[in-house]
Amino acid sequence: MVAGEQQDWSEVAALSRSIEAELPQVAAKIAEHIRAEVPRYAQIPPENHVLGVLEQLRDMAQGLATRQAPSGEQIERARALGRTRAEEGLAVEAMISAYHIGYRDFWELLLARAQNNPKLSTQLVEVVSLFWTWIRLSSAAADAHAEAIRSLQATQINLTHRFLGALHSGDAGSDEAIRLARALGFDPDHLFQAVCAPGGAWAEDQLDDLQRSLQFARGTIRAATRGPVTVILCQDVTPDVVVSTVHRIRPGLPLGIGLARQGLGGAEAGLLDAEQALRVAELRGGVVRFEEDWLLAVVGTHRQRLSPLLRGDETIGRDHPHLADAVQAFAKNGFSAAAAARALTIHPNTMAYRLDRWHQLTGWDPHTTKGLVSSLLHLALTE
């Protein structure tokens, strides 16, 4: 750089130095603006956030003052911040938005300070290209964030597999299970709830998308595919959040939801709930909650063993759907033939005939507890 160029840059250098002296106050104000515009930054402690903004702005101010692009050391600082934000659970989109807000506010501050200095205003035109090289630090931070997320996900998937293995093997009360639960961010003594999906339904990129999406949900959520089932175990979050996330990626995918149960023993039982509910969901589609369909979920697990008792003639319900509808309406309307008839908009005598006809064809009398339960389970298992 020749002396003339150095002199031409002196006004910019002086401005940058003056702002650098005020950076603690400037950084605090910009961090406040970011937190107002990007709500996800509420999860980052304010002091931590201001410190990160201050570090990035100080590097930029020094770079503008010396007319230098980011050095390797400064790029690594941006990457380190990206890794830190990933470890803190901040989404990359939120981090990039924060970078853009910070750069915009810093640029507006430069423009405001240059308004009464025509020479400086002219020189700021030359600053644009240099300023742009500093904006690219956000890309370095984003790249490091992505690398950290991939590493965290790989570690979490490994730990999740081991944790689920402990639950499946009956070792929920072991020291190893407690250690794994804590390593995954779970409180071993709190409520757990499981959601299960078909394991073979996911393309590799879709499963990665699911992992990324769940990474930044509120609460603690861990997912892994074990054999034919993808297990999503959660704490301090409603299963509806998991369902909506899954269905955004795989619309209409059948899901089973277990009961919310206490402690690691509850996590073990709740996992079985969700797996059994999934079997029902795979038969009839949609989302099946164990708390609503527990009888069918439990019986369905033993369907082969109970088949001689419940299967009957599988063609009856299909060949006579009006009889099946009558039995189900009878069960849903207080075991009242008259109420069931009104629900189906048929005559009560017709309802009575259909229930009797069902009894004749199947041997199950829907007017008795045994006959009605057997009929309903038969219909559910042969849907």
Give dist(CA 186, CA 179) in Å, integer.
10
In the predicted model, is pLDDT for residue 305 greater than 80?
A: no
Rounded CA-CA distance 383/380 in Å is 5
Compute the distance between CA of residue 135 and CA of residue 84 in angstroms, rounded to an integer.
Answer: 19
Domain boundary among 103, 135, 167: 135
User: Average pLDDT, stretch 209-237?
Assistant: 86
Q: pLDDT (tens digit, 9 = 90+) per residue, 140-152?
A: 999 999 899 888 8
| Mean pLDDT in residue range 105-130 | 81
pLDDT at 14: 87
Question: What is the rounded average pLDDT of the residues 126-130?
Answer: 82
Domain boundaries, position 58: 3-135
- Pair (160, 223) in one structural domain: yes
Is there a single domain that holds both residue 159 and residue 292? Answer: yes
Q: What's the CATH number where 72 sits? A: 1.10.490
pLDDT, tens digit (0-9, with 9 covering 90-100), for 265-294: 999 999 999 999 999 899 888 999 999 988
Q: How high is the mean pLDDT of the chain?
A: 88
DSSP string, 315-347: HHHHH-HHHHHHHHHHHHTTT-HHHHHHHHT--
Distance CA 105, CA 84 (A): 23
Mean pLDDT computed over 333-362: 94
At which residue do the structure tokens 């020479």 appear?
119
> Is 142 part of a structural domain of the chain?
no
90 domain-assigned: yes
Q: What is the CA radius of gyration of the chain?
A: 31
The predicted model scores a pTM of 0.64
Number of domains within the chain: 3
Confidence (pLDDT) at 84:
93
Confidence band, pLDDT 50/70/90 cuts, at residue 2: very low
